[in-house]
Amino acid sequence: MDDLSVYRWLVVCRELDAALCELNPRWFPVEGEEATVVGTFCDLRPGDVAAPHYRDPFAVYLMRGAEMWRLVAQVLGGKPDGYNRGRSVPFNGPFAARIVPWVAGDLGTTLGVATGAGLALQEQAEGGVCVCTFGDGTAYRDDFTEALNLAAVWQLPVVYVCQHNGWAISQPATSYLPAPVVERAAGYGMPGVWVDGNDVEAVRSAVGEAVGRARTGEGPTLIEARTWRLRGHWAADGQAYRTQPEPDGLEDPLDLQAYRLLERGLVDEAQLERLHAQVAGEIEVAVRQAQAARDADASDLGLDEVYA
């Protein structure tokens, strides 16, 4: 994917996220973390499996062929044209896109499923890789140890990316993180890589190298992408718990990449403005289409899927 396309996905990630926050106060904002989302998944092949974090997986789904308006319909709730067919937890994507969605109220469950996907890809022996992202709070679940240990023992083609945004819901990482997550990699016998999660090019490079190792049978890698959650745990979160200042040295992922594109002469300010306007227009159309879609009725409840 070329540099301008990568920047466009950063814009899509931020602008769609902002729209979804307006539509649903329980949406989980990703503002400030876009570089980790886009940089992790933008170079995957169609035959790979994506297991994105619950904090805006929709950019990943879109990169893998999902329709934006159907994703938006899920966030509105009760819209049978959404990929979740109007049901609760709006994190589904098209099955054919080889996506592992977050489908439970319990964080971390995708770690085990992603590891199982890695086992399936290994058995298929076609060079496929599974890439899984999760938060720093999730890294303290039993699932984390079980998944990474098994992946290391069996040398599975899985790349684990900790999207470390400084918070586990309302608890700051400084209160539960005695050492960097990446330092645990040595205990599992796999490479561990630290990367600036606000630098999309750094994330792409680190993930690309790890994916390359996995494709050639060299097993899993643990990457810790350090970023920062600019908004609350959910859109309507009042964030009364925020008492400490933001870390020093953080750069806005979009501003950083836009500056690079301008410095390299790949775009000018007018082109960037047009790109932003185009993305905003696409999102507006998708929202209108989703809002106009019919609401679910009794025929959409799927009783035929429950009872014989």
Q: Where are the domains of the chain?
A: 3-295
Angle at 183 between CA 179 and CA 188, to 5 degrees: 130
Confidence of residue 249 (pLDDT cuts 50, 70, 90): confident
**pLDDT at position 174, please?**
85
Q: Is the pLDDT of residue 88 over 90?
A: no
Residue 186 has what DSSP assignment? Answer: H
- When pLDDT is averaged across residues 61-86 and rounded to a whole number, the result is 94
Give the tens place of pLDDT for each residue, 124-169. 999 999 999 999 999 988 899 999 999 999 999 999 999 999 998 8
Mean pLDDT of the chain: 93
Q: What is the DSSP string of 34-62?
A: HHHHHHHHTT--TTSEEE--SSS-HHHHH
**pLDDT at position 202, please?**
98
Distance CA 211, CA 156 (A): 11
Distance CA 190, CA 148 (A): 9
**pLDDT at position 308, please?**
66
Q: Is the pLDDT of residue 244 over 90?
A: no
Among residues 72, 7, 67, the alpha carbon closest in space to that of 38 is found at: 7
Q: Is the pLDDT of residue 211 over 70?
A: yes
**pLDDT at position 274, please?**
98
Fold of 3-295: Rossmann fold (3.40.50)
Q: Which residue in this structure is represented by tokens 């690079």?
A: 260
Model confidence pTM above 0.85: yes
Among residues 12, 13, 39, the alpha carbon closest in space to that of 159 is found at: 39
Cα dihedral sign, 17-22-24-25: positive
Pairing outcome for strands 130-135 and 158-164:
parallel
Q: Is the pLDDT of residue 77 over 90?
A: no
Cα dihedral sign, 258-259-262-263: negative
**pLDDT at position 245, please?**
79
Q: Is the pLDDT of residue 65 over 90?
A: yes
Q: Is the pLDDT of residue 10 over 70?
A: yes
Q: Is the pLDDT of residue 263 over 90?
A: yes
Give the tens place of pLDDT for each residue, 21-40. 999 999 999 999 999 999 99
Q: Is the pLDDT of residue 305 over 80?
A: no
**pLDDT at position 105, please?**
67
Confidence of residue 76 (pLDDT cuts 50, 70, 90): very high
Q: Which residues contact 97 (CB under 8 A, 6 or more apart)?
A: 50, 61, 64, 65, 66
Distance CA 29, CA 232 (A): 7
